[in-house]
């Protein structure tokens, strides 16, 4: 089984210059745990997870009032909390290869790239679906 068989072809993206507040909103609104980060030219710049956002929000300001915490979140750029140049995987790579990369690098998502373009994302949840016998998705 290949990555193309289990990946999510529709990725949710955010710009590197967007702020933490927007990233948190996009994650929640889209119901995803990972955002692809693109630069001004539309190229893959990084990846940001809900965990990255939660850790960033746990600033010294978050123990104060909500307004101060929100102001802080509006000042932090996604590029400051993202994982730059993330590990990527080819759509024809095996599911086993994705699992190995995730285990080796301690990550839970891989952008799927072809000819330098992001065409999907595969997550640890997708891999668990394969293990559990969940039907394949259609790319």
List, in order of start, the domains of the chain with CATH numbers.
Answer: 3-131 (3.10.580.10)
CA distance 136 to 139: 9
CA distance 137 to 24: 27
User: Percent of the chain having pLDDT more than 90?
Assistant: 73
Q: Report the predicted TM-score, pTM, of the whole model to 2 decimal places.
A: 0.85
Q: What is the pLDDT of residues 104-125, one digit of tens each?
A: 999 999 999 999 899 999 999 9
Considering only CA atoms, which of 21, 3, 133, 123 is closest in space to residue 72? 21
For residue 112, what are the β-bridge partners?
89, 120
Q: How many residues does the chain have?
A: 139
Answer for the pair 3, 92: CB distance below 8 angstroms, yes or no.
yes
Q: What is the pLDDT of residues 48-81, one digit of tens each?
A: 999 999 888 776 655 556 666 677 778 889 999 9
Backbone angles phi, psi at 20, to 5 degrees: -60, -40
């Amino acid at each position: 089984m290949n990555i193309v068989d289990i990946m999510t072809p529709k990725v949710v993206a955010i710009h590197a210059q967007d702020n933490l507040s927007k990233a948190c909103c996009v994650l929640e609104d889209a119901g995803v745990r990972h955002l692809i980060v693109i630069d001004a030219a539309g190229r893959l710049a990084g990846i940001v997870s809900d965990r990255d956002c939660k850790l960033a929000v746990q600033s010294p300001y978050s123990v104060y009032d909500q307004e101060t915490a929100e102001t802080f979140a509006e000042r932090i750029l996604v590029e400051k909390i993202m994982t730059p140049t993330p590990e990527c995987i080819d759509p024809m790579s095996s599911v086993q290869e994705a699992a190995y990369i995730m285990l080796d690098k301690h990550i839970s998502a891989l952008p799927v790239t072809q000819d330098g373009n992001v065409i999907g994302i595969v997550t640890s949840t997708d891999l668990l679906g394969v293990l559990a016998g969940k039907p394949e998705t259609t790319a």
